[in-house]
Amino acid sequence: MNNLPLLRRQVLKMAFIEKLTAQEIAARLGCAVSYVYKQKCLALQKLKETREDNYRGQ
């Protein structure tokens, strides 16, 4: 997770650890809910790619 940009790490932390909704995250960050969804999606995609790369031994 350290390879993610800070904002994406924050979004994931708030969503999965703090159990905040996208609306609550957007309010904390001062951004649109759609931006939260996009950052969460990009972060999860990057984590998936990293996991697959590690699985293949790259």
Dihedral (CA of 33, 51, 58, 4) sign: positive
Distance CA 30, CA 49 (A): 29
Specify the pLDDT at position 27: 98
Specify the pLDDT at position 32: 98
Specify the pLDDT at position 57: 64
Give the tens place of pLDDT for each residue, 1-58.
Answer: 788 999 999 999 999 999 999 999 999 999 999 999 999 999 999 999 888 766 776 5
The answer for 21, left when phi > 0, alpha when psi is -120 to 50, beta otherwise, is: beta
- Please state which of the four CATH numbers 1.25.40.10, 3.40.50.920, 3.40.50.1970, 1.10.10.10 is assigned to the domain occupying 6-55: 1.10.10.10
